[in-house]
């Protein structure tokens, strides 16, 4: 199984609501990153949180990291239809140059 | 113009054919990567390169080879394509810096179908 697993696999919400996606991982990390992918397009980096950080904000995005539970969450506040996309967490493994991706959460924001 | 350009964007080929996917970047980054995306499996790392003379295998390198022709160019080859190599392939770059694994910048992808 993969290093990063997102939960839920799919999420459907109404515009204006908040969306929360979770990521769990198995081994020690240097950092954890979140990416967004619009259908059939390349991935776009959203935010990076280092292993010694607990929370980070970027605009309407809030990421938390709990290294004791080996988990992270991505919160998108006041969602918009344009936020519809797949969201992936990616873990930078400690002592490695590899970035390992999870299988993603598909978010649908209904107008 | 895109910073990370992949060619071709779409390719249909037959089993046993040799295929090359090309990637070029104008970001000036040293590090380049090839990933494969399959439905429900996320992205898996095939190969990565930190400079022209540094090539490393990723999670799923069997059946693939790469060439780093220049700092800006990194190509992926399938010597003898097979149907289970049907996937969406992404090239990505990153800057060598503070992070072991920093932010990746992705191309738009190359969709490969092997019949």
Chain segment A71-102, per-residue pLDDT in tens: 999 999 999 999 999 999 999 888 777 788 99
Smallest CA–CA separation between B76 and chain A, in Å? 17
- Name every chain B residue with its beta carbon within 8 A of the beta carbon of A30: 99-101
Overall average pLDDT of the B79-96 stretch: 94
**Chain B residues touching residue A35 (CB < 8 angstroms):** 104
Q: Which of B24, B50, B25, B21 is nearest to B35 (CA)?
A: B21
Cis peptide bond prior to B114, omega within 30° of 0 = no
Angle CA B79–A101–B99, to nearest 5: 100
pLDDT tens, residue by residue, B34-62: 999 998 778 999 999 999 999 999 989 99
Largest CA distance in chain B: 43
Q: B92: closest CA among B57, B47, B62? A: B47
Nearest residue on chain B to A34, judged by CA atoms? B103
Kindly report the backbone phi and psi dihedral angles of residue B85, in degrees, each rounded to the nearest multiple of 5, phi listed first. Answer: -95, 5
CA–CA distance from A20 to each of A32, A72, A107 (Å)?
16, 10, 10
Best to test chain A binding among B27, B37, B43 (most A CBs inside 10 Å): B43
Strand, coil or helix: what is B3? coil
Could you tell me if B41 lies within 8 Å of chain A, comparing CB atoms? yes
pLDDT over 70, % of chain B? 96
Nearest Cα to Cα of residue B30 among B60, B67, B74, B66:
B74
The residue whose two tokens read 């010597």 is B79
Share of chain A above pLDDT 70, in %: 97
Of A65 and A1, the structure prediction assigns the larger pLDDT to: A65
């Amino acid at each position: 199984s993969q290093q990063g697993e997102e939960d839920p696999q799919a999420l459907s919400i109404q515009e204006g609501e908040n969306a929360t996606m979770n990521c769990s991982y198995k081994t020690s990390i240097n950092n954890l990153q979140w990416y967004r992918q619009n259908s059939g397009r390349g991935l776009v980096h959203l935010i990076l949180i280092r292993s010694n950080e607990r929370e980070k904000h970027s605009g309407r995005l809030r990421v938390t990291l709990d290294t004791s539970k080996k988990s992270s969450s991505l919160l998108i506040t006041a969602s918009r239809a344009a936020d519809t996309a797949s969201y992936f967490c990616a873990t930078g493994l400690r002592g490695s140059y590899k970035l390992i991706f999870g299988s993603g959460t598909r978010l649908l924001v209904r107008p | 113009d895109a910073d990370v350009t992949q060619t071709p964007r779409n390719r249909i080929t037959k089993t046993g054919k040799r295929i090359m996917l090309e990637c070029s970047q104008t970001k000036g980054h040293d590090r380049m990567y090839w990933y494969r995306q399959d439905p429900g499996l996320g992205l898996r790392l095939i190969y990565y390169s930190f400079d022209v003379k540094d090539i490393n295998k990723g999670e799923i390198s069997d059946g693939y080879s790469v060439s780093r022709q220049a700092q800006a160019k990194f190509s992926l080859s399938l010597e003898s394509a097979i149907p289970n190599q049907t996937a969406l392939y992404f090239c990505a770059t990153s800057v060598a810096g503070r992070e072991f694994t920093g932010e990746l910048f992705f191309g738009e992808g190359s969709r490969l179908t092997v019949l």
